Amino acid sequence: MDLDKLSAKKCIDLIKSKEISVTEVTDFFINRSKNINNKINSLITVCDEEATERAKYIDKNFEDFKEKKLLGVPISIKDAINTKDILTTAGSKILNNFLPPKNAFVVDKLLDEGAIITSKSNCDEFAMGSSNETSQFGPCLNPWDISKVPGGSSGGSAASVASSQNLLSIGSDTGGSIRQPASLCGVVGLKPTYGTVSRNGLIAFGSSLDQIGPFSKNVEDCELLYNTIKGYDSDDSTSLENFDEVEKTEIKSLKIGICDELTGEGISDDVRNYFENSINELKKIGAEVENVSVPYIKESLPVYYLTAPSEASSNLNRYDGIKYGLSDNKHQSSWEVIKNTRSNFGDEVKRRILLGTFALSSGYYDEYYGKAQKVRGMIVHSFKEIFKKYDILISPTSPITAFDLGSMIDDPLTMYQNDICTMPANIAGIPAISIPCGISNGLPVGLQIMGPHFSDLKIINIAKEFENHTNLNILESMSI
């Protein structure tokens, strides 16, 4: 039985029918994780002892777990999400000895539903990056071509699912950090509506933008994982309770807007070709498709790069070597401890802290951060007005396919442009999903579907129908 070819749903069915045990599944994926990790560095920690112990416990108490949603499914957790007593570094040396005292809310939900946490996945340091090259544990490589990046910041999660080191993964998305690596690695990635999935236990980057979400091989598994992790958390002040979810809709009844600002200049020819093919497929199914302009959406990039660094500056201020962070304070003054601790930040983190601190400084707050929040409100309003006329918006997920390792790391402005298609959804807090729509020169291309607030299940259903119609299974052609 080729366990690495399984979907999460099929894996659960096999375990429920006792054709295979949870321990056998776990052992297989632990061994596969170790072998492949030597090639692509997608994982920071392989949780072999914890996973094996839990698998044996579930097998021993099978009757108590047999109806669980994620029975025995191996899953990786982005290393910026807390796992009790399991190393959690956020890709930074500052946290290279941090063992969280409790799980993140979503991790507890996964464990409650029978999942097996097999690994913690590599990520850009404090989730700051678009290529998974800023991790202080080394860059993650794209399993389609190890000379390419997997995207970021959740590149390890995307790469681990694409290479079947696990069947599912959990990442976080601040400006596209789930969808962009999902696109570059040929898997499914969802950024839920802000507040529908608790951020409790996520190491914060930009608190008003961050959102935890799922990675999977197909849309059905994505839906399963989303339904597992969503829900109200009283310990998260941004968690939403009793929200009304938009009803599911078939593609043939849809009015779809092609976002002009996200499909024009800067989109590569190969990505554009597959995006146009996707539009034609949607039309074949029966959707009405029109080009539409979303006012102020072009301002998403500057709004993001004032908002996110400002919030990062505030969030990372706690890492002083006294309350938080790696510390060697022997015979040092408090200022020396702070200096020595913060010297462990990488260049990209330092860059964003400096930018954010400047934007929040006296005399500049209203000119920069304050003005950015006003424009953000205008972007939110623009989306609300557009969704009165259109059911969903579509665009490429990434303007280009996976790029060469090291080709943009010293050019941050060009690197930042790679998130131009994904940032608007974070600014507005709306849900968006990336699904594979083709392979160009051996590298995956992603299609992004965006919907109004609380239409998460609606866009998942649309993505599932599109996936079934096109019958794409691009992971079958991966050779790793």
From 68, 78, 120, 191, the catalytic residue: 78
Concerning whether 153 is annotated as a catalytic residue, the answer is yes
Q: Is 387 left (phi over 0), alpha (psi -120 to 50) or beta?
A: alpha
Angstrom CA distances, 300 to 108, 373, 388, 428, 456, stand at 34, 11, 21, 9, 21
Contact 379, 425 (CB under 8 A): no
Question: Could you give the 3-state DSSP secondary structure of residue 423?
Answer: helix
Residue type, 203: I
Q: And the tokens for 305?
A: 């790069």
First CA to last CA across the chain, in angstroms?
Answer: 18
DSSP 10-75: HHHHHHHTTSS-HHHHHHHHHHHHHHHHHHH--EEEE-HHHHHHHHHHHHHTHHHHTT-TTTT-EE
From 92, 119, 135, 153, the catalytic residue: 153
From 33, 76, 157, 177, the catalytic residue: 177
Sheet holding 74-78, edge to edge: 43-46, 116-121, 74-78, 168-173, 211-216, 188-191, 432-440, 443-450, 392-396, 255-259, 288-292
Catalytic residues: 78, 153, 177
